[in-house]
Chains A and B, each alone.
Chain A
Amino acid sequence: MTPLDFVVSLALISVAAGVLGSLIGLGGGVVIVPVLTLLYHVDIRLAIGASIVSVIATSSGAAAAYVRERMTNLRAGMFLEIATTTGAVSGAYLTTLLPTRFLFVFFGLVLGYSSFATFRRRHADAPLTVSNDRIANYFNLHGSYYDPAEEREIAYKVVGTKPGLALMYAAGLVSALLGIGSGALKVPAMDSAMHLPMKVSSATSNFMIGVTAAASAGVYFIRGQIDPIIAAPVAAGVLLGATFGARVLGRVTSKTVRLVFVVVLVVISLEMLQKGIFP
Chain B
Amino acid sequence: MAEKVRRVELAISLVLRIGVVVSVAVIAAGLGLMFAHHGAYLPIRGHFSYKELTSKATPFPHSFASLGHSIAQGDGRGIVVLGVLILILTPILRVAVGVVSFLYEKDPPMAIVTLYVLIVLVGSFFLAGV
Contacts and interface: CB of A to CB of B under 8 A. Distances in A.
Interface of A: 1-7, 40-43, 46, 53, 56-57, 59-61, 63-65, 67-68, 70, 72, 74-75, 78-79, 81-82, 85-86, 88-89, 92, 138-140, 210-211, 213-219, 221-233, 235-236, 239, 243
B8 A74 contact: yes
Given A4-B43, A74-B9, A79-B113, A60 B90 contact: yes
B21 to A, nearest CB: 9
B53 A92 contact: no
A218 B125 CA distance: 5
A218 B124 contact: yes
Contact of B19 (A1, A5, A60, A225): A60
Contacts of B9: 67-68, 70, 72, 74
Contacts of B109: 138-139
Contacts of B58: 227
A41 B30 CA distance: 24
B84 to A, nearest CB: 5
Q: Is the interface of B mostly helix, strand, loop or mixed?
A: helix
Contacts of B120: 85-86, 89, 215
A226 B48 contact: no
A186 to B, nearest CB: 14
Interface string B1-40: 1000110111011001101100110011011001100100
Given A3-B42, A46-B54, 13 more contacts: A2-B44, A4-B41, A6-B54, A64-B17, A65-B13, A81-B113, A85-B120, A88-B124, A211-B95, A218-B124, A219-B128, A225-B62, A229-B54
Contact of B20 (A60, A81, A221): A60
How many chain B residues sit at the interface, stated as a range, is 35 or more
Contacts of A57: 20, 87
Secondary structure call for the A interface? helix
Interface of B: 1, 5-6, 8-10, 12-13, 16-17, 19-20, 23-24, 27-28, 30-31, 34-35, 38, 41-46, 48-51, 53-56, 58, 60, 62-63, 76-77, 80-81, 83-85, 87-92, 95, 98, 109-110, 113-114, 116-117, 120-121, 123-125, 127-130
9 contacts: A3-B38, A56-B90, A82-B116, A89-B120, A139-B113, A227-B60, A235-B27, A236-B24, A236-B27
B87 A1 contact: no
Nearest to B23: A235
Contact of A43 (B42, B45, B56): B56
A68 B27 contact: no
Given A60-B87, A75-B110, A215 B121 contact: yes
A89 B127 contact: yes
B72 to A, nearest CB: 16
Contacts of A223: 62
Contact of A6 (B50, B76, B117): B50
